[in-house]
Structure 1
Amino acid sequence: MIENKKCSNIKSFKLSALATSVAVVVGAFSAPVSAAATFESDNGWKAGFNGHIPIFAVLSDFDDPRDEDSFNITTGFNPATLQTNIHAPTQNGLEVSGHFQMNADIAPGDADANFRSRVSEIAVAGNFGTVNIGKGFGIFGTPGIGDNGSALGVGLITGPDEAAATAGRIGNGYFYANFTPRVMYSSNNLGGLQFKVGLFSPSKVDDDNDDVEYSIPRIEGNVVYSADMFSLWSSAFTQDVDSKAGTFDDYTMSGIDFGGSIAVGDLNVRGNYSMTSGTGNSVFAARLDPNEEDADQWYVEATYDINRFTVGASYGEGSDDIGVRDGADTLVRDEKETDLTMVFARYRATDALTLMAEVQDYSTNDVQSSDYSAFIIGSQFTF
């Protein structure tokens, strides 16, 4: 029987490398985690849960061709999240644990379609490092995704009727790692140096195209070096896309990124640059792309802490050689370009409640999309 032996100190519950990486991605690094409920049995089994509930009010003004003002109440870049962790007793030097994450947007009238699991994994840790088996967050693009502005905030709004999770800096600063079934190895800390490598289920470019086949897994990896005042990272991936009947040329999706952060007192500056081929600048398998068009993106961000306040600003751009076409599918520009400016503030009202404000300005040369500006206020309960 599992009894509640401690429900106040998160340090009493040892998270695996998977749980730690997920916490970083969902923005726990940028707001205090007040507590995690933990339970422990007499024979050494441990269980616990933690998570967050973010809610934002978004007032936006979209230019042509949409030409629309909009007000929405929505989650931010991260939906409401409940993380459950179960640890078995350590045996033969192995720490075995299971991790489950459920996520919910607040789309009006469509709650069932927006309640889903993004993490369901087994983690096996020892003096060799950690192996994760199951569905979890990717490697390419992390930790560049961990910017303070969009990780805890809203970021890119895809349209006036946004109701699900927003897009953060996807396509305007970083490539999205996404949640995918995988087998991943994470090294222990080697004097500040850590690395990851994993085999992932391939992302499909066209579910309705029977000619596309994926005979080998996608390979992703990263390396991170962290010191007291700075951190440096780089990651890469590759995935083959093949044609069974030869209706298109076989090609390879690939990417690489570089980034870093530095902290001097209460000032933190970070940046990231990524290049991809054959997949666009947003997500894996964004399109069937046998010409392997190039895309890139970057962002820089600065934040400053003043007691319980954090203020910050960031700017990022994205470009894609796929080009821009009009409604008649005529090529208008050789390159699609976007940029997103964000200014934001956080106030830690309590250890569990963070109040937030965000101002955005977005522009694009895509004739089928709209420039917009937005003012956002919100709050997040972290538990």
Structure 2
Amino acid sequence: MSAEKFFQPGFLLALTLGSGALLTPCLAYADDYTDLLDILRAKGSLTKGEYSTLLSKHLHHARPTARALDDDSAPAPRRIHTVSARSAHGRSSRYTADDMVAPADSQSAALMQARDAATRAEASAQAAQQALLSTRSELNNGGIVHADPYVAGKGVTLHAGQIAINLSGFVNGFYTFNSPGGGTAVAGGLANGSSGFDSSSVRNGLLPAGIIVKLSTHQAGLDLQAVFGAYPGLNNANPGAFNANTGGSPVGLGTAGLDFRQIYITFGNQDIGTFKVGRDLALFGSDAILNDATLLSVGSTGSNIAPANTSLGRIGVGYVYADWIPQISYATPKWKGLQGNIGVFTPLDEFNYADVTGAAAGLNTAYSATNTQHSSPMIQGKLSYDFAINKLVGHIWSSFLIQHQQNLKGGNIAANAKRGVMTEAGDIGAKLTYGPFEGVAYYYYGSGLGTTGLFFDGVSSSGHKRNSEGYYVQGAWKIIPKLKLVGSYGVSNLYQAPGEVSPFLVRRNQSEVGALYYNWTNWLTLMAEYAHTNASSHGPDHNKDNTVSAGAAIFF
């Protein structure tokens, strides 16, 4: 198309109408065309010669029109509407509607062109809408796989039709050096002070490695999900009472252990809440471990000579391990930051943990009762509240646990006594964040709960419940956005049952931890940590150890 044809007044009108630019008509002005030429000339779109030619043609066409306006015998031309313009020199022209006219045949041609342009635009819009619907249909086709944009820490999400597949995980490793501080072995104690030897290892921290697969979809108004979580360790496994978490086997030709701790489904929505069926982290004590800074590092080692899949972190030195337990649980919808959880769980046995540690040290092994009979499930529940006030962000929680322990067996229980007890426990905790500062405070109390693990030494050998309690406090400061300093202190106490005399049984496990975490990238975190652990008995025995760890972890 030639520049001359482009700048014909009729064509300009049709182009304006066809493009939809003329939203509100206003009266035309005599020098709009001249102003347009000025603008194009100033921008360099027209050469000096082209500008002169087009301006001359415009003035030539304008003169007959002006003469016709003065001729009373001439037929009145129809007015055309356009949008007012401002010239390149900034001047605004203001003329009446009769100042610009166009011949009737020119207007008819312009109108036809505008209608054609409108028809083509409508057809184009319909084609675009059809293409969008077709694309959406293809994305829901099971044969098409596409990925969501990656968000650090949220894993990789692929969509195969209506199914979302999320793959996430982590890997960590630490060099850990443990130095015993001396003392006498304590039955149920978590310090290694009496071992007499330093130990070195390359091991996992409180977290093993992990690979988690989640499959999600939406059907019949429900959000559905299936989760599989596999957690392998670095060191050789030596399955015992705690399976992959039993102390390892540092012997050649060994293989690492695999803890398949997560297998569950969920279904529900924001209106009715969410149901969970399968094996997952329990409710009581779950927030205590999830907010513990040593979850990302090592803490107390438990044993560093033959490392298990994990260290202890602050388990047994501030809280009782929540554990991964088969369950049917329900979470309410969130209402103004408030949410409740309740569930039934596979009941766990009372366990004589002091016997495991005491027998290894040659101590009396008749510490705690055991049982294997359960006619009713364990019941757990939790209430949590999240809030934000300006820069202050908070999370507060409280949980409980109830389980009936039947047919207890112990050295001081008659074989046909059929003794049973009802175990109960409750906790409360809070996490507050204000700018670069973060604080966590937690407390628990139990009757028959025990210490370190659920129902570890919770009932005496005579069948009476022992009370236990513990707490930890933790502070963190982001020195710079990538560097965080953490310090924490925690205690777990186990009291004797009424009338009991067990001087070798653990009374207190406690630890102090200081750590630095550096987030090098949104995947890679470097860590350095020092932990001091003490164990004391109900008698004069006690011991302590010191642990230094340094390592790295990747979370994706």
TM (norm. structure 2) is 0.60
**Structure 1 Cα separation of the partners of residues 274 and 340 of structure 2:** 11
2:494 counterpart residue number: 320
Over 3 Å counting, the alpha-carbon distance change for 1:159 and 1:300 in structure 2 is same
Over 3 Å counting, the alpha-carbon distance change for 1:256 and 1:66 in structure 2 is same
1:15 counterpart residue number: none
**Mapping of 1:145-184 within 5 angstroms?**
145-164=289-308, 165-184=310-329
Is residue 534–residue 542 contact of structure 2 (8 Å, CA) maintained in 1?
no
**Structure 2 Cα separation of the partners of residues 141 and 349 of structure 1:** 31
Over 3 Å counting, the alpha-carbon distance change for 1:285 and 1:332 in structure 2 is closer
**Structure 1 Cα separation of the partners of residues 505 and 208 of structure 2:** 35
Deviations 1:266-302 (A, max 9, x none): 1001110001111312222214613110011100000
1:214 counterpart residue number: 374
SS of residue in 2 equivalent to 1:169: coil
Over 3 Å counting, the alpha-carbon distance change for 1:263 and 1:98 in structure 2 is same
**Structure 2 Cα separation of the partners of residues 308 and 71 of structure 1:** 29
Q: Which moved more, 1:284-293 or 1:254-263?
A: 284-293
1:25 counterpart residue number: none
Aligned residue identity for 2:387? A
Deviation at 1:147, TM superposition (A): 2.8
2:254 maps to 1:116: no
1:223 counterpart residue number: 383
Aligned residue identity for 1:100? F
2:377 maps to 1:258: no
RMSD across aligned C-alpha pairs, in angstroms?
A: 2.4
Is residue 443–residue 470 contact of structure 2 (8 Å, CA) maintained in 1?
yes
Structure whose alpha-carbon radius of gyration is higher = 2
SS of residue in 2 equivalent to 1:77: coil
2:230 counterpart residue number: 102
Deviation at 1:205, TM superposition (A): 2.3
Query: Equivalent of 1:82, from 211, 215, 235?
Result: 211
Q: Which moved more, 1:295-304 or 1:160-169?
A: 160-169
1:14 counterpart residue number: none
Query: Equivalent of 2:160, from 32, 35, 41?
Result: 41
2:450 counterpart residue number: 280
**Mapping of 1:14-33 within 5 angstroms?**
33=153
Aligned residue identity for 2:226? G
Query: Equivalent of 1:242, from 396, 403, 406?
Result: 406
**Structure 2 Cα separation of the partners of residues 121 and 257 of structure 1:** 25
Aligned residue identity for 1:118? R
Over 3 Å counting, the alpha-carbon distance change for 1:58 and 1:211 in structure 2 is closer
Deviations 1:154-198 (A, max 9, x none): 122112314120112111111211001100101121101011111
SS of residue in 2 equivalent to 1:190: coil
Deviation at 1:243, TM superposition (A): 1.4
Name stretches of at least 5 consecutive residues in structure 1 with no aligned partner. 11-31, 324-328
**Structure 1 Cα separation of the partners of residues 229 and 337 of structure 2:** 28
**Structure 1 Cα separation of the partners of residues 331 and 143 of structure 2:** 30
Deviation at 1:108, TM superposition (A): 3.1
Deviation at 1:358, TM superposition (A): 0.5
Deviation at 1:232, TM superposition (A): 1.2
2:192 maps to 1:67: no
**Structure 1 Cα separation of the partners of residues 145 and 268 of structure 2:** 24
2:545 counterpart residue number: 372
Name stretches of at least 5 consecutive residues in structure 2 with no aligned partner. 1-141, 183-193, 239-253, 353-368, 409-414
Aligned residue identity for 1:157? T
Aligned residue identity for 1:158? G
Aligned residue identity for 1:74? R
Q: Which moved more, 1:103-112 or 1:116-125?
A: 103-112
1:362 counterpart residue number: 533
**Structure 2 Cα separation of the partners of residues 78 and 57 of structure 1:** 14
Over 3 Å counting, the alpha-carbon distance change for 1:2 and 1:336 in structure 2 is farther
**Structure 2 Cα separation of the partners of residues 167 and 279 of structure 1:** 18
Is residue 4–residue 38 contact of structure 1 (8 Å, CA) maintained in 2?
no
Aligned residue identity for 1:151? L
Deviations 1:175-231 (A, max 9, x none): 211001100101121101011111000012259x99741001000001011111222
In the alignment of these two chains, the number of paired residues is 353
Is residue 74–residue 162 contact of structure 1 (8 Å, CA) maintained in 2?
no
Over 3 Å counting, the alpha-carbon distance change for 1:70 and 1:334 in structure 2 is closer
Deviation at 1:121, TM superposition (A): 0.4
Q: Could you say which structure has the greater relative contact order, defined with CA pairs below 8 angstroms and 6 or more residues apart?
A: 1
Aligned residue identity for 1:143? D
**Structure 1 Cα separation of the partners of residues 337 and 535 of structure 2:** 40
Deviation at 1:335, TM superposition (A): 6.3
Aligned residue identity for 2:551? G
TM (norm. structure 1) is 0.86
**Structure 1 Cα separation of the partners of residues 264 and 374 of structure 2:** 23
SS of residue in 2 equivalent to 1:310: strand
2:458 maps to 1:294: no
Over 3 Å counting, the alpha-carbon distance change for 1:212 and 1:246 in structure 2 is farther
SS of residue in 1 equivalent to 2:293: helix
Aligned residue identity for 2:146? K
SS of residue in 2 equivalent to 1:144: helix
2:396 maps to 1:232: yes
Deviation at 1:92, TM superposition (A): 1.8
SS of residue in 2 equivalent to 1:122: strand
Query: Equivalent of 1:343, from 514, 529, 532?
Result: 514
Q: Which moved more, 1:298-307 or 1:112-121?
A: 112-121
Q: Which moved more, 1:142-151 or 1:106-115?
A: 106-115
Q: Which moved more, 1:60-69 or 1:215-224?
A: 60-69
SS of residue in 2 equivalent to 1:313: strand
**Structure 2 Cα separation of the partners of residues 283 and 125 of structure 1:** 32
**Structure 1 Cα separation of the partners of residues 551 and 150 of structure 2:** 27
Over 3 Å counting, the alpha-carbon distance change for 1:369 and 1:203 in structure 2 is farther
